[in-house]
């Protein structure tokens, strides 16, 4: 890639990250192009679909999810405390960008999605936490990792769109934890 093209691409992603964080993933693309100092055609050349730009912006979140999983696994307390710590971290991550939770969770398990690579990273972190608990015999039989990450993502999406706080999110995650773990 030519140096000026690389520079333009980097600036677009940097600006998009700021705009998306503030206005959500549905923010107008022409404003991003304008703030990045490029024409709209240049943005479309690098990112033919909005989802491709979202994928690039989400690198920031994907970089953090595995250390979050590590922290949850190392959390003090029993399986329930560790699972809840993971759920809370994951919801916090997905609600860091307005609109991210619904898009990520909708694309979860869809290989053809432009953000499939990021979904794989999130799902992988979730699976690491669940595998740990499963090895301890703490998980109910027949609970599928993909369904769990969809359920937690669903809570994140509702929390995002309804602007719910921890006092509403916490009880929902507790229901999920009790449904995932043995009685």
49 binds, among a copy of itself, DNA, none (CB under 5 to 8 A by kind): DNA
57, 104 Cβ separation under 8 angstroms: no
Q: Judged by CB under 7 A, does residue 144 bind DNA?
A: no
49 binds a copy of itself (CB under 8 A): no
Q: Please report, as residue ranges, which positions from 16 to 35 form the binding site for DNA (by CB under 7 A).
A: 27-31
- Judged by CB under 7 A, the stretch of 3-11, 77-85, 122-130, 167-175 that binds DNA is 3-11
Q: How many C-beta atoms lie closer than 10 Å to residue 69's C-beta?
A: 23
| CA angle 2–57–104, rounded 5-degree value | 135
Residue 45, contacted partner among a copy of itself, DNA, none, CB below 5-8 A by kind: DNA
Partner whose footprint covers residue 142, from a copy of itself, DNA, none (CB < 5 to 8 Å by kind): a copy of itself
Residue 62 and residue 124 in contact, taking contact as beta carbons nearer than 8 Å: no
Instruction: Write the CB contacts of 25 (distance below 8 Å, at least 6 apart in sequence).
Output: 50, 54, 97, 98, 99, 100, 103
Cβ 90 vs Cβ 31: under 8 Å: no
Among residues 22, 110, 117, 131, the one that binds a copy of itself under rule CB under 8 A: 110
Q: Least distance from C-beta 122 to DNA, angstroms? A: 25
């Amino acid at each position: 890639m030519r140096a000026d093209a690389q520079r333009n691409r980097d600036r677009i992603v940097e600006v998009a990250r700021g705009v998306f964080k503030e206005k959500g993933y549905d923010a107008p693309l022409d404003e991003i192009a304008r703030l990045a100092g490029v024409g709209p055609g240049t943005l479309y050349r690098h990112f033919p679909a909005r989802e491709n730009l979202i994928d690039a912006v989400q690198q920031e979140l994907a970089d953090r999810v595995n250390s979050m999983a590590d922290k949850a696994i190392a959390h003090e307390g029993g399986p329930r405390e560790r699972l809840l710590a993971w759920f809370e971290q994951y919801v916090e991550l997905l609600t860091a960008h307005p609109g991210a939770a619904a898009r990520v969770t909708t694309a979860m398990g869809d290989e053809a999605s432009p953000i499939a690579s990021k979904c794989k990273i999130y799902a992988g972190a979730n699976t690491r936490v669940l595998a740990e608990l499963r090895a301890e015999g703490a998980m109910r039989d027949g609970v599928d990792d993909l369904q769990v990450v969809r359920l937690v993502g669903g809570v994140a999406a509702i929390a995002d769109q309804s602007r719910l706080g921890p006092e509403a999110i916490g009880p929902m995650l507790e229901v999920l934890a009790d449904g995932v773990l043995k009685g």
